Amino acid sequence: MAELLRGDALGVADAWARKVREDFPILASPAPAGLAPLVYLDSAATSQKPRVVIDTIVHYYEATNANVHRSIHRLGEEATAALEAARRSAAAFIGAASSQELVFTRGTTESFNLLASSFGAGLGPGDEVILSLMEHHANLVPWQMAARARGFALRFAPLDAAGDLDLGALEALLGPRTRLVSLTQVSNLLGTVNPVSPIADMVHAAGALLAVDAAQSLPHMRVRVGELGADFLAFSGHKAFGPMGIGCLYGRAELLEALPPWQGGGEMISQVSLEGFSPNELPWKFEAGTPNVEGALGLQAGLAYLADLGLEKVEAWTTSLAAYAAERLRAIPGVVIHGSPRLRAGLFPFTLEGVHAHDLAAFLDRRGIAVRAGKHCAHPLSDSLGLASSLRASFHAYSTLADVQALVEGVAEAASRGGRL
């Protein structure tokens, strides 16, 4: 985890972020008439897109659009080559041993649905899967559905009072019946950064496998599956400067080989008869139907842009900016920043006493400030914190000190009104 930037270093990094901002049309363009300038602090929900990603997608449709893997004409071969090059780039970005270990999906949610359906097909009564209290619904509901269908048990690792994963409690849950532990690397509600590598050692020592939700971590920090010890890993393109509707599931080749396909149709087969079918090779046996080619190319462009920025620089800036924003907000009477994890990424939840989070979000929106309000697809964690709803501020490389100032001024104005928004 990068050290927090302070003082002059924060100002130097802000100049860098303002320069980055120029690459994002939605942020660099003047506000429409009658609307306040956009202060976008909802990057944990989705990042904005740099011009290079937009241009890549437009160019694909203008110059290369064709279905892949099925044609021998020029456009089909070009589109196929472009898709597989994008796969190789995404695999290299996370340090996979081979592009065969990377399955394209619609995003983290579909990745975990695939894993829960396919891996879960081999589980039954007596088997256990361990999750944590902080999981996004994408890494909770698919396992609940699979457990209900297959009869295996779900167990949940708790958090301590600060919002960190209780590693002792997690270790105590591990046993001979544990087949898989599936955890987020960064909580999308608290911003807690989990120590995945030591957890992986613990899980593997118990004879189980580890799946990692990297939806919130990969856009902001170095993620390498080998260094983490991840057996499976999922992420979404749209949080990492790429388009919506594309994501990836990584799995070690020998594990993916052993799993059954989870959807049927074209592409995921090598041969079909009226009596049955033979599945395709990796990774295509998990990719039924026409793939999201433009999404994969947009993802490739987004990850390349992220790499060019420098993940160490992105992590240092987003974590520092979030810490600075939280510090400024705490000074406002009635504001509560929830959780105090040992390591927090570039996001945090907060509330204003006497004001419903949705009302405050709407108040801020009228001032052009976009923050998330609700339970953030983490109902069990939100409920455990006693939060019917909270606001979440989240940052990316294009976020600036001016964005923080606008947020602080907006919340301070709301607080001064005594809840009458």
Helix (H) or strand (E) holding 209: strand 209-213
CB within 8 Å of 73: residues ≥ 6 apart: 66
Where do the H-state alpha helices sit in 260-310?
293-309
Tell me the pairing of strands 269-273 and 276-279. Answer: antiparallel
Tell me the residue length of the chain.
Answer: 421
- Token output for 90: 């995404």
DSSP letter assigned to residue 138: G
Distance (Å, whole) CA 186 – CA 345? 7
Q: Are 229 and 387 in contact (CB under 8 A)?
A: no
User: Does residue 86 contact residue 243 with C-beta atoms inside 8 Å?
Assistant: no
Place of tokens 């911003």: 191
Beta pairing class for 247-251 and 102-105: antiparallel
Which residues are the active-site residues? 377
- Cα gap 30→34, rounded to integer Å: 11
SS3 assignment, position 178: strand
- Backbone dihedral region for residue 338 (phi beyond 0: left; psi -120 to 50: alpha; all else: beta): beta
Q: Which residue has the tokens 């957890």?
A: 199
Output the six-digit token pair for 421. 């928004």
CB 376, CB 189: distance < 8 Å: yes
Tokens at 173, concatenated: 């849950």
Cis amide linkage into residue 283, ω under 30° from 0: yes
